[in-house]
Amino acid sequence: MEKVSDRRRFLKNGAVLAGLAVGAARAAGGETLESEATEIRPKDLHAYGERSRFENSIRTGSLGTWPQLTSPPDYHKDFGFRTPLQDSIGILTPAPLHYIVSHGYEPPDIDPHEHHLLIHGMVDHPLLFTLEDLRRLPSVTRTHFVECNGNSAPTGPTGAIRRGPNANAQDTHGLTSCSVWTGIPTSLLLKQAGVQAGAKWIIAEGAEKGKHSKSIPIEKALDDMFIAYGQNGEAIRPEQGYPLRLLVPGWEGINNVKWLRRIKVVDEPVMAMRETTKYPSLRLDGKARWFQSQLGPKSVITRPSGGQKLSGPGFYEISGLAWSGGGAITKIEVSTDGGRNWKIAEVQGPTYPKAHTRFGFAWEWDGTETLLQSRATDDQGEVQPTVAEIAEFWRVKPDFFQTTDTVVGHFNAIQPWKVNRDGSIQNAMNF
């Protein structure tokens, strides 16, 4: 049957598992397969645990800032810490590895007993909540990704890094993470406050030094948006907005205001920097897409991917992640021949709307040079585009993305990885 994946058919044979087991035994040189345990314990792991000292996957990058008028011409400072997607397991991102974009500011040290959330503006009853007030209300727990709109873009201050042949999945796609979030639906608080007729937007503001704010349509606030205080079963981390952050599922990360301190209900957006200069998609023909918030379908193969190396010809499971701001992922396809042929990958684990989805694909590498790619389709019928299709929308030639300093947001093109004859994997995003 077509619905039975290549992977399942392959593993039914059992030969691959037997071969791997024999290889492992030979590599051990006759020694026992049991691992030797040590009693080294550098600190108390019982009060609050930490990972094994043999696990060393970390975020890379810096808090950074956007180039300023006084910045030198060669300014290319990074503007965030990226998640090591190439080492990810399943669909959830551990909180200590969740990507960070804070516009150059360190997280404020907020005492949760002193923090308040104000709901005001065009409401009948302005409300002021403590964290304890909010935790008394009915909560929701949902799995969602958060993604910077510049994630995977080959342009802007750090575009050269993402275009380079040595880039890995952390370099190209590391500004997205997925967690289980817990909090209060924004609609519940707005209904308590009583939204007045004519109100069309909210302005959310954070408590950090820069007082980051963002205008969001009231329809989204009354739909699936919520105010999170929990992440993966514990309080959200300081760099993720402790004690409160906005969660705007499927929309650009810039909307997910951290260290949330107030929500103002208004009749029109505030046309500040985030609304007018950095985030509209300005095209070369002078046209722009304003308030383009929903993120399109995207996928990336995380193993094997850039910087990794295959040990030799044989069986490998191709594994990766897919997600979409439009809803749930319904189909993931994989090509092992540079896009000439596409086959359905197997979805592994749960599929949630606006969340990472893990996929796998059985592959027998014959030792020849090739390209690996994946593409995702969501439940709105939207298919992950090619570079050429994105270029057509921008009305430019594909090589524009290699030469411009303009930040091209919402760049969700199919990501190719080149497999060399020696098994090494390189970034193959060519223009």
**Which residue ranges form the domains of the chain, and what is each CATH number?**
60-286 (3.90.420.10), 298-427 (2.60.40.650)
Single-letter code of the amino acid located at 223: D
The pLDDT-based confidence of 22 (bands split at 50, 70, 90) is: very low
pLDDT given for residue 77 in this prediction: 61
- Taking residues 352-359, what's their average pLDDT? 98
Cβ distance 415 to 172 under 8 Å? yes
Cβ distance 298 to 304 under 8 Å? no
Q: Is pLDDT of 352 > 90?
A: yes
Lowest mean pLDDT among 119-133, 192-206, 407-421: 407-421
pLDDT given for residue 37 in this prediction: 57
Q: How far apart are the first and last CA of the chain?
A: 39
Q: pLDDT tens digits for 92-103?
A: 999 999 999 988
Q: pLDDT tens digits for 235-288?
A: 999 999 999 999 999 999 999 999 999 999 999 998 776 766 667 666 666 676
The pLDDT-based confidence of 27 (bands split at 50, 70, 90) is: very low
Report d(CA 90, CA 94) in Å as an integer: 11
Side-chain half-sphere of 372: how many Cα atoms within 13 Å? 30
**Alpha-helix runs per DSSP H in 223-344:** 273-276
Report d(CA 268, CA 200) in Å as an integer: 6
Q: pLDDT tens digits for 368-419?
A: 999 999 999 999 999 999 999 999 888 888 888 877 777 788 999 999 999 9
**pTM more than 0.85:** yes
Q: What is the mean pLDDT of the chain?
A: 88
Cβ distance 327 to 379 under 8 Å? yes
